Amino acid sequence: MSVKSFFTARAVPTGAGGAAYRIRTSPPYRKALLSGLATLALVIAALIALPGVSRATTSLPCDIYASGGTPCAAAHSTVRALFASYDGPLYQVTRASDGSSANIGLLSPGGYADAAAQDAFCANTTCRITRIYDQTSHHNDLTPGPSGTSGMGADRGADASEIAVTVGGHKAYGVWISPGVGYRYTGVAAGVAVNGQPEGAYMVASGTHVGSACCFDYGNAESTPADTGNGHMDAVSIATTCYFSPCSGSGPWVEADMENGMFQGDNGSNTANKGNNTPYVTAMLKDNGQTTYAIKGGDATSGGLSTWWSGSLPTRGGYMPMHQEGGIILGTGGDNSNWNMGTFFEGVMVSGYPSDATENAVQANIVSAGYSGETNVPNGAQKPITGPGGQCVDVIGDDTGTDGAAVDLWNCQSYAEDQYWTHNANDSLSTIGRCLDIDGDGTAAGTQVELWDCNGVGGQKWVQHSDGTLYNPQSGRCLDATGNATANGTRLQIADCDGSSGEQFHLG
């Protein structure tokens, strides 16, 4: 089965043995607030940014945090600079065709991503995001994470062209997180809070590409991928996870993953948290590490922030004080629970407890960046293959298919990465980093198809014919739904080409 069936047909590990949940808190004692004039200056600087130009405003989020006395300890984005002076790479992509890599940078210092450079490098093949650079001097870069105690294997990098949006009038690519995708800084990241130190964090993420599994997080995590107990995480999340009921509505909610619990505020449950479901959400968290935390959310394209909680840290045990370890995660839980989905665009972690005035100025800058476009449907070169009965060609395994994974028919789902295929220049069809392959490179009628590493063999060549069939030249046979069936889970095979309804497959 695929992501579409994950939530109804498969139990999701939670609690101490499964998901890692945490949050950031906000200290009761904080550094002196900005003066009224300084705060006004920050807000004005953030608001005057004009979308449609390649150079960003003078003050970007990390400049604003620094002015407020809470400098960025880590800053990650695939769409724009987060310092006005930044002129380095945003992320690295690696080609499937030859394994070579390229850094994707900015159109200008302090500006927006050079998406055209990615398009040129990845033309006629697929690419994965294999590194997201930290824009601070700490070099806390994120790479696909190792396997952890959740029982999941090592993470894979996101498909680099899965989701394209517009920021500041420019095309840019977000990070499409599917089950099995995730990033980590393993170890203690420089400048990141540990052992009850105060910190803050935000991310801009989709409020429409969301799920309830564990864990679409960004922030402070264990230094190794293992659940080491309550209070050892301090990460912001946006998900439909109602971990502590009751919850208001169906979410998604901005939550704090503090390990072994997704906290919506208070001691877990917080019906005052009404959720944020706009295409772009600013999800914000801060924690003084000792007694207090706060959760905020807002539309990243307009308006201000809603404060969903500002008060005591949980009294459940282990959270007062916090025990952060200083690792960094994106798209997973602290123990590498990587079953959830989401779309990430930018995020930072800061040292100290940010003032409300600073956070408001950061939100104003985010709004001024001019995010637009859908965030819940893959829109890159990948297209669904529609088969018999209007079903989609799908990989069994919830977007985590490995070599030998069965290929079947399933209800079409907009979120399912393994239902989006790229028809490559060599006539192969690829998804989640592997190709549609005939088992054993066979040619006999009835041989089933599967997912396998792309290697250019004849059993991976598929030609779309005008009669709707997908033809494999090596075998002289066509892709076929076994028994002309259309039910979920119907295995696909090759069979003599007869133009029957079981051989009707259309790419795109």
Rounded CA-CA distance 508/489 in Å is: 21
**Does the bond joining 252 to the residue before it have cis omega, within 30 degrees of 0?**
yes
Rounded CA-CA distance 434/422 in Å is: 10
Rounded CA-CA distance 9/64 in Å is: 46
- 119 among known catalytic residues: no
Strand ordering across the sheet containing 477-481: 463-464, 470-472, 477-481, 492-495
The strand pairing partners of 245, in sequence order, are: none
Angle between helices 36-47 and 356-368 (to 10 degrees): 10
Which member of 335, 394, 398, 399 is catalytic?
A: 335
- 199 among known catalytic residues: no
The one-letter amino acid code at 232 reads H
Which member of 259, 266, 408, 503 is catalytic?
A: 259
Question: Contact at 8 Å (CB) between 437 and 459?
Answer: yes
In the block, which residue shows the tokens 């697929």?
A: 126
Q: What is the 3-state secondary structure (H, E, C) of 311-358?
A: EECCCCCCCCCCCCCCEEEECCCCCCCCCCCEEEEEEEEEECCCCHHH
Going from the C-alpha of 158 to that of each of 165, 191, 205, 475, the distances in angstroms are 16, 26, 15, 33
98: number of CA atoms within 13 Å, CB side?
7
Residues with a known catalytic role: 259, 335
